[in-house]
Amino acid sequence: MRPGAFRYVSAISLDEVLQNLSEFGDESTLLAGGQSLIPLMNLRLARPEVLIDLNRIPGLAGIDIVGDELRIGAMTRAVDVVTNSTVAGSLPALSRATAFIGHPQIRNRTTIGGNISHADPSSELPGVLAALEGSVTLRSIRGERIVGWNDFIVSTFTNSREPDEMVVDVRFPLRTGWTFAYDEVAPRHGDYPLAGICAGVQIVDGVVREMRIVAVGVSDRPVVLSEVAQASVGRELDETLIKELSKIGREELHANGDAHASSEYRKWLIGTLITRILGNFALESR
């Protein structure tokens, strides 16, 4: 098994990438970590004409807090996010979610920009980006634009990037006074989750002021559980409320069923994950 024939460019600068994208557009594909693209090429499900390798370009990886955002360069590897102290200190939910991606060999290659761009509905990071209402920076020779997660992630393996654009960074807002967490259930550690939850809560004087809660692995893109969030506002996060929210989450969700898990099972997993995550928030807020 090997990829179909293609032409290859190992770009050495962002300008070179953008020039190539402008010239080849739809015929070209960007190679970041390759942990999703190369399997698709091996299986001939992807047949790029021109493969533009981003791995030798300096300056596309990096983790920085800029204003109230955690900015992660597109070519930052998953392993470097998991082990980074800035991420651990400012957004531990992202460290945890990233540690769920694949296995060590995969995380040594996987990139944050590639992961978000691939828009795999089972992937952890789009869910975290959705929960935080984050965005991506897209660049082309025409200029730069910042696109929110909701407009960027369209559906399964589909984002709203134009053929001449490249994701240069991913922006996770750091919300003051909020706590975020991520958890999931997978058949085997490192496998794609059957269901996952990224949730954040702001508790003031023992009462929920605001909540964001997003399910992954259950639909063609991250699903915002807005009814759960709404029902929590103004209430004390106790056992009664958590039970109620878990039930609302199960009922609100339209979960896909497939060979790995039925729709009904996924709904129960989401209910369980809501209980687990919110239970931890309740413990921490005491």
Partner 1 sequence: MNAPQTVMAINLVVNGVQVAREVEVRTLLSTFLRDDLGLTGTHVACEHGVCGSCTILVDSQSVRSCLLLAVQVDGTNVETVEGLGSLGSLSPLQDAMWREHGLQCGFCTPGILMSIEGEVRSGASAEAICDEVLSGHLCRCTGYQNIRTAIHAYFATKDES
Q: Candidates 58, 67, 143, 189: give the one binding partner 1 (CB under 8 A).
A: 189
**What is the rounded CA–CA span in Å between residue 48 and residue 44?**
10
Sole window of 12-20, 120-128, 137-145, 152-160 interacting with partner 1 (rule: CB under 8 A): 12-20
Q: Judged by CB under 8 A, does residue 9 bind partner 1?
A: yes
The sign of the CA dihedral 99, 101, 106, 110 is negative
**Which residue's structure tokens are 């369209």?**
154
Q: Candidates 25, 26, 39, 145: give the one binding partner 1 (CB under 8 A).
A: 39
Q: Candidates 21, 30, 32, 35: give the one binding partner 1 (CB under 8 A).
A: 35
Sole window of 16-24, 62-70, 197-205, 265-273 interacting with partner 1 (rule: CB under 8 A): 16-24
Q: Candidates 90, 190, 220, 260: give the one binding partner 1 (CB under 8 A).
A: 190
* Cβ atoms 126, 135 nearer than 8 A: no
* Cβ atoms 87, 95 nearer than 8 A: yes
Q: Judged by CB under 8 A, does residue 76 bind partner 1?
A: no
Q: Candidates 29, 86, 108, 262: give the one binding partner 1 (CB under 8 A).
A: 108
Residue 208 CA to its chain's centroid (Å):
25
Residues 6+ away with beta carbon under 8 Å from 41: 3, 4, 6, 47, 48
Q: Candidates 106, 147, 207, 241: give the one binding partner 1 (CB under 8 A).
A: 106
Q: Judged by CB under 8 A, does residue 114 bind partner 1?
A: no
Per DSSP, 194 falls in state S
Q: Judged by CB under 8 A, does residue 25 bind partner 1?
A: no
Q: How far apart are the first and last CA of the chain?
A: 56
193-217 burial, b at 16+ Cβ within 10 Å, e below that, comes to bbbbbbbbbbbeeeebebbbbbbbb
Q: Judged by CB under 8 A, does residue 50 bind partner 1?
A: yes
By the criterion CB under 8 A, which residues form the site for partner 1?
A: 1-11, 16, 19-20, 34-35, 38-39, 42-43, 50-51, 53, 55, 79, 102-106, 108-109, 188-190
